[in-house]
Amino acid sequence: MAVKLTVPISEEDIRALKVGDQVLVTGVIFTGRDAAHKYMMDNFIKGTCPDSEKETYDVLKAGLAGSVIYHCGPVVGKTNDGKHTFVAAGPTTSIREEPYQADVMGHFGVRAVIGKGGMRDRTLAGCKEHGAVYLHAIGGAATLIAESVKEVLDVYKLDFGVPEAFWKIRVEDFPCVVTMDSHGESLHDKIRTDSQKKLQEILAS
C-alpha cells in the first residue's frame, strides 16, 4: 500500500518512511538538475545572493521549504492558450547532484528529492541530518509521469535551457519508491555490495 505524501511535508512524515516504501507525492514541487544545483550552490549557499538573483532566491526559498526537488529535464510543449505543459518528464540520473544535494536540502529545507539511480554518502548523511528522503522514480517512464504533472505553474532561469530550468509544477500521485531514508539506510548501497560480492563469485567460477 503506497503512502501518500502531500506538500508541505513534515519531518514526522519523513521519519516514518523506510527504504522500500512506495509513495505517491502530491503538491507543488520544483524540477532542478545540473545547472540549477550548481546555480543554487554558487549563488545562494557559497555566495551571497547577487541582486539580480534575489527574486529567484525568494521564490525558491519559499517554495522549496517542506517541498520536493525533482531531478528532471522535461520535454515541454505549449497548449493553444500559450500555457506550458509537460510532454515527457521522467527522472534524470541523480548522482550528478551529489556534490550539492545535502547543502541544498539543508539550506532550503527540502524534504524529498526525486530522481533515479540513487545518491551517495553525503546525500545519505544529509537525509539523516535534515529529515529528508530520496525517492526513486521509474527512469524512462516519461509519458506516464507527465500524466501525473497536472499543471505547470511557472518557470525560473529558463536561460539555462528547457531541461535545466527550474519548473514549478503541481503533481498528483507521482509514484516513487523510497531508496534512501532518513535513518541512514540506502537500498543502492545494499544492492551494490551484494552485486559486487556476486561478481567475485561469478568470476571465480
Partner 1 sequence: MQGNLSRRRLKDGPGIERPEPRASARADAAMSGMGPGTPGFARDYCPMRDYGEGEHGQAAVSPWHPERDTGKLLLAHATRKTPSKMRRLGGFHMQDITEHLVELIKSASTDLGPDVQNALSTAVETEEKDSAAQGALLTILDNVEMSRKTGRPICQDTGTPIFYVWYPVGVSQLQIRKQVKAAVRIATEKTYLRPNAVEALSGKNSGDNTGEDFPTIHFDEWEHDYVKVGLMLKGGGSENCGAQYSVPSQDFPAARDITGVRKAVLDAACKAQGLGCAPGILGVGIGGDRATSMIKAKEQLFRRLTDSNEDAELDAMEKRLHREINELGIGPMGFGGKTTVLGVKMAQLHRVPASFFVSIAYMCWADRRKLLTIKNGSVTIEAP
CA angle 79, 157, 77 (to 5 degrees): 15
Q: Please, what is the minimum distance in Å from the beta carbon of residue 65 to partner 1?
A: 27
Contact 103, 41 (CB under 8 A): yes
For the residues of 155-191, what is the DSSP string, one character each?
Answer: EE-GGG-TTTSEEEEEEEEEEEEEEE-TTS-BHHHHH
> Which residue in the set 27, 106, 109, 117 belongs to the binding site for partner 1 (CB under 8 A)?
117
Q: Please, what is the minimum distance in Å from the beta carbon of residue 116 to partner 1?
A: 7
> Which residue in the set 8, 20, 47, 184 belongs to the binding site for partner 1 (CB under 8 A)?
20
CA atoms within 13 A on the CB side of 134: 32
Q: Using the minimum distance from each CB to partner 1, give the nearer residue, 183 or 198.
A: 198
Q: Using the minimum distance from each CB to partner 1, give the nearer residue, 63 or 118.
A: 118
Q: Check residue 10 and report its DSSP letter.
A: P
CA angle 4, 139, 190 (to 5 degrees): 80
Q: Please, what is the minimum distance in Å from the beta carbon of residue 10 to partner 1?
A: 25
Q: At what angle do helices 121-130 and 98-108 cross, to 10 degrees?
A: 10
Which of 69, 179, 177 lies closest to 124, judged by CA? 179
130 in catalytic set: no
Q: Using the minimum distance from each CB to partner 1, give the nearer residue, 130 or 142.
A: 142
Q: Name the burial class of residue 144, with classes exposed (0-12), middle (13-18) and buried (19+) by CB atoms within 10 angstroms of its CB.
A: middle
| Under rule CB under 8 A, residue 77 binds partner 1 | yes
Binding mask 146-185 for partner 1 (x = CB under 8 A): xx------------xxxxx----------x-x-x------
Residues that bind partner 1 (CB under 8 A): 20, 22, 34-35, 72-77, 87-90, 92-93, 95, 116-118, 136, 138-144, 146-147, 160-164, 175, 177, 179, 187-188, 190-192, 194-196, 198-199, 202-203
Q: Which residues are catalytic?
A: 37
